Every structure is written in structure tokens, then in C-alpha cells.
Structure 1
């Protein structure tokens, strides 16, 4: 039976990690990993998280199942934190196992609509969108978002591509710290995009995976709040893996804003999809988040730690630009200092990217994505020198 199973597409992030593990060189550098790491190469457990966990150990009275849509208090607290006053309008909410499950629930929901909408994707974009939409048999199409060689957003081309969208279609965007490019729309561009979506009757679907890593927690929530206040129907998916450093504990959420007559029906649909897939979401991570957000002291402690992580990533980005200018007298990577979040795309061709790994032991995700948060001070000069060498080779 199993010999008939066809070969699945290779996940570029997972295969990149495998190639790194198989590389025998000691002086190799892994920039494929998609998690925050400090200057020592560690992914720390936040002190606020530890304190919240201790409180849960002392006070939690049951490990029984929650509702299929999870802990209502967690959804309510997180909804108000992210969406602000707009959350009072009433939403269909669900606690999910990270952001990927939230995305998959929406993909299943859209695929089951009698006349399925097309989901429009930025290109390049998060590598798991296409596998999720494909597995759900949802319709999707691509729009040009970023030119990696010029290191700039192709915003006008993206809007031109949306002219093919129909009313009721869905635009899936990342709110900030765009993965894999690190290039976020300006405020003016975002406003122009929302004007187009509203004029054409396109539903905004925003995926928030890096809240607090661009400017601040509140500033990073502004895009979702703007969408939530403006559109009668919209979708918000959230993962808190990076924001709270609880990757393996799978804390996420789904928020769907609907017209009031549709709300109960959409809640039943979401519950049924959750039941047929992930079923009940794990609750340890979400309970930690709820505990922190409901306690002013823990919340302040967590925000300070989040600010420290964001500041370190911004510092590494600036160091890349400064070191290149000071030691190599070039500005090939200067754009990295102007971007946000953990990821950026290197301005390399496929052949140059291959040479970077083959000749220098620097492993990146296929397509040139690097995790700048992984870089220590001693790595920066090595990375810059290797990129300049492969980029100048003929």
C-alpha cells in the first residue's frame, strides 16, 4: 500500500535544517531556524512566562477538555488586547494550536463555501500558506509583493494584480515583520491597499505572527485594529510563539468578524472544522498568556522582555549595515537596517545562494531567507564577507 504514496513537496525550511545537520564543517552557520535566539544562540524562556507557569501549577484545578473553540476568557482577553474597541462589535473566536491551525481552519471554511472565493497571496510570502491552502483544497492565486534583487516592495504591481479579484475574494496578508522579506508596507501603502480592498469588496485576512517585534506591542496591533474597525467582515489569525517565546506550547487564536445574522452559523462551522482536525487545542501556552495579560505586574514584566528582544533584533540589523560600510566600504546589505522582524531575503541568485552554503558553510532557506536574530557579533563579518564574495563572483 505505502509504495503507492507519492512524494510530497519538500519544505524548504525543514530541508534546510537537515542540510545543516548533515554538514560536517565545524565553522558552519545556521540561518534557517525560524525562532528568536539571543546573542548566545539560545531561545530563552521569558521570566514572565516562568512566573505565570508557577502560578498555574499552584492554582490550576483541572486538565479537563475545554470547548472546541477553547477558553472563552483567553479569546476575550487576547481579542481586546489585539483588536481594541473593535472587538466589542462581536466576533467568532477560537483558541487554536498556534497560528498554523488558525490558518487551516479558515482555509477549510473558505473551501467549503458553495462558490469558493480565491485567496490572493503576496509573493514571496510565508512558506506554509500554499501547503495549508492546497491541503484544504482552497483556491488561491499569487500577487507580486517584493523584488529580492532590488530589495524593494513591488506595491503598484501588487495593486494592479488585485484588479483581477472578484467581490467576495480574500486577500491574505502579513501584518508586520513580513516573512520572509522583512519588508513591511508603509502606512500610506497600507491605507491605499485597504481602499482597494473595500472598493472591490475583497475580504481582508491578516496573519499576525510577530506582534511586538516591529515597533511595540500596541503599534504592531494597529493594522489589525484598523481593519477590524473598518470592515464588516474580516479574518484575523494570531500566533504568540515569538511574542511570548512559547513555540512548543502552541498558543494561537482565530477571530472572524461577520454580520450579526451569520455569527452563530459561522461559530458552528468553525467548531465542526476544529473537531474534524486538531480537535481540542492545547491549553498550557494559552493559559500562560491569559495569566500574564490579566496581571498588571506580569504584563509589564513581559512587555519589557518583549522590548528587549525587539531591540536586539533591530541592533543586529543596524550592525550588519554599519559593519559592511566600515569594513568593506559597500552598501549591498544596507536595506536590512531599514527592515523589521527576524527575517530578510538576501539579494542573491540561486547559484550565488548555493555557493554561499557550498563555499562558506552558511545555510539559508531556499530563496535566500535568513534569520538575522540568529547572528552573534562574531558571525556578522563572516556573513557579509561571504555574501560580497559570492555576489561578485562571475
Structure 2
């Protein structure tokens, strides 16, 4: 049986982690894997999550299944977090999934059932796992222009022109905030024409919202999704709690549907649950229950927002500090865009050979396309890191 198989290509980011772990140099820096790290380099459990887990431990009486949709209180909380308190929930459906990736796959399978001939349009570039997830569900993909590597800006007009090539009924995958891998985002003013184009050409929005709260704040990061919801008749959103609740290994996300009316979204929701039944039958409970406890308790919710905001502001300060250090070391404005980007990632805009030199000569680890994790930076290393980058240019 297995003799017919060939080895799968190694995951570039996970392979990078192995190289980093095996590097004996005490000065090595890990800017690869996308997890939030504090100033000590640790990915800690948030205080509100720890307290919610304690309450859960004391109150939980059973480990029986919670149902295919998962924790209903969690689902309701996620809808409010994404769409706001005043959203028309009668047209919406949410189900708990195994992380943001599970939400993406669930929604991809659902859309493949609904529109098997549709093409899904992806930004150039996009998260490395988007295309494999969509293709595994049987969907075709194409790309639209997005990032200008020379300026570090979004090519907003080129993006609109590219999407005009999409056929009626095609699907457009959009990063709701904190674009991965570039960190370059549309302004809310630029989102308006995108929404209008989707409506005009009858294109279907598929939003990946993996980093709400990591960019400009919880409300501002949700603004593009809410703008779309105010204009388009229907859409889907994949959201994740991995980053903003720091529950990575517990795998908690939500697949969200917004339909034209209550009846259509009820039918679509039943198909989404049928999909999860085949994929993994029942979702895990622990972290979703903890998140639900946080969202239902005013004190814990306030504590969580305060801690999340401190994480966001730290990343902004690191962006500014790194950009300033690079300006000093390079005596140019070449890297100033880093301070303007948002979220966990940006691309330095250097070659793969230069990335290899950073790893080999300085023990600085980042993805080959020069994507680096802002949260992996340390305040006391910015100047040395900037010197190393400039030395390989």
C-alpha cells in the first residue's frame, strides 16, 4: 500500500522551527512561527483565560459531547465580537470549529457544495495554507493583485482591476485585518469600493479574520467585515481565537455564515454542520467554554481586552522601534513601511539568499520570503537585528 506514496514536501515554517531548536547559538532569534511572544520570548496563557479555566474546572460536571455546533454561548459571543452588538443575528449562523483553519476548511467544503464551479480569488500573496485548504475541498483558485513589494503598500486600484476579471458567482477571499504575510492592509476608505465591486459584479465574500484585536483594536479590526455586511446580501467569515485569546494548541475558531434571510442561512447552517460531522464529528470543548465564560462575564471580559490591548500596543512599539533602528543602520527610509503595517507579520523585502545569510551568519530565523513575526522581536535586540539585516543587503 504505502509503496505507492512519495514523501510530502516539508512545511517551510515548521521545518524552520526544527532548525531553530537545533541551533546552539545563545543569541539566536526566532522570527518564523506565528505565535505571540512576550518580552521574555514566552507564549503565556492570558490571565483572563487562566481564570476562566479555573472556573470551568470547578463547575464542569461532564465530558459528554456538546453537539456538532459546539458551545452555543461561544458561538453567540463570536457573532457579537465580529459583527457588533446591533447585528441582525436572525440572518447569521455560527458553529465552533477546530481553530481558524478548521473554519476555513468547513466553509470551503460548504462553498464547494453550493458553487462547485466557482473560482476562489486569493490575494497575491496570501497565507501559505489558503490555497491547499481550498484545493482540498475541490475548489479552483486564482489570484488578484494586492501587495507592492517596492513600496510596502496595498495596490488598491490594481486589486479592483484584478477582481473585475472574476466571473459572476466567483468567491473572493479577503483578509479582514492584519494581512498575512505582508501586514499591509486596506484602509477603511479603500474597503468601500471593494464592497461596491463585490455587489456590482455579484461576487461572494469569504473573509479570513484570524487576528481581530492585533491591528488597530477589536472594533476597528472588525470594521471591514461590518462594512461588507452592510452592503453585500450574503457572506462567510472564518475567525480564530488562537491569537487574540492565545489558545493556540486548544484549536478554537468559528465558521460564520450571513444569509439573505433567516430561512436560507438555516439551510446553509445545516449543511455546514453536515460538513463538520464528516470532517471531525464533534468539536473540542475546553477552550471554547473558557472563551465563552470570558465573554459572558463583564469583569473577565474587561481584563481580557486590557491584556489584548497591551499585546497590540507592544507589537506597534516593536514595529516603530525596528523601523527606526533600520533607518539608522541603513541611513534610508527603505524599511519605514514596517511601522505603518499592522498585525503580527511584515515582509522585509529581501531575497531568499539574504534570508539564508541571516540564518547562517547570525542565527536569525525567518521565512524564505522574508516574512517575520513582529512579536518575535525583543526590545533590546532591535539595533543588533537591524545591523545584521543591513549587513546582508
For this structure pair, what is the TM-score category when the shorter chain's length is used for normalisation?
Answer: over 0.9
Counterpart of 2:375? 373
- Contact preservation (8 Å) 2:250, 2:286: yes
Counterpart of 1:10? 10
Question: Which moves more between the two structures, 343-352 or 321-330?
Answer: 321-330
Alignment deviations for residues 119-142 of structure 1 (CA, whole Å, 9 cap, x no partner): 100011111101111211211111
Alignment deviations for residues 70-117 of structure 1 (CA, whole Å, 9 cap, x no partner): 122211122122212224232122111111001001111222336421
1:241 match: secondary structure = coil
For residue 271 of structure 2, the aligned residue among 249, 266, 269 is 269
Question: d(CA) in 1 for partners of 2:335 and 2:249?
Answer: 33
Question: Which moves more between the two structures, 14-23 or 271-280?
Answer: 14-23
Counterpart of 2:136? 135
Counterpart of 1:43? 43
Counterpart of 1:95? 96
2:164 match: secondary structure = helix
- Contact preservation (8 Å) 1:101, 1:278: no
Question: Which moves more between the two structures, 255-264 or 375-384?
Answer: 255-264
- Contact preservation (8 Å) 2:172, 2:206: yes
Counterpart of 2:363? 361
The count of aligned residue pairs is 391
Counterpart of 1:387? 389
Long gaps (5+) in structure 2: none
- Contact preservation (8 Å) 1:119, 1:141: yes
Long gaps (5+) in structure 1: none
- Contact preservation (8 Å) 1:126, 1:180: yes
Is 2:197 the partner of 1:196? yes
**What's the Cα RMSD here?**
1.6
Alignment deviations for residues 14-34 of structure 1 (CA, whole Å, 9 cap, x no partner): 122123234343332211020
1:236 match: secondary structure = strand
Counterpart of 2:121? 120
Question: d(CA) in 2 for partners of 1:350 and 1:322?
Answer: 23
Question: d(CA) in 1 for partners of 2:305 and 2:266?
Answer: 35
Alignment deviations for residues 313-337 of structure 1 (CA, whole Å, 9 cap, x no partner): 0010111122233455332321101
Question: d(CA) in 1 for partners of 2:137 and 2:9?
Answer: 16
Question: Which moves more between the two structures, 30-39 or 112-121?
Answer: 112-121
- Contact preservation (8 Å) 1:16, 1:366: no
Question: d(CA) in 1 for partners of 2:253 and 2:149?
Answer: 30
- Contact preservation (8 Å) 2:116, 2:139: no
Is 2:309 the partner of 1:301? no
1:347, distance to aligned residue in structure 2 (A): 1.2
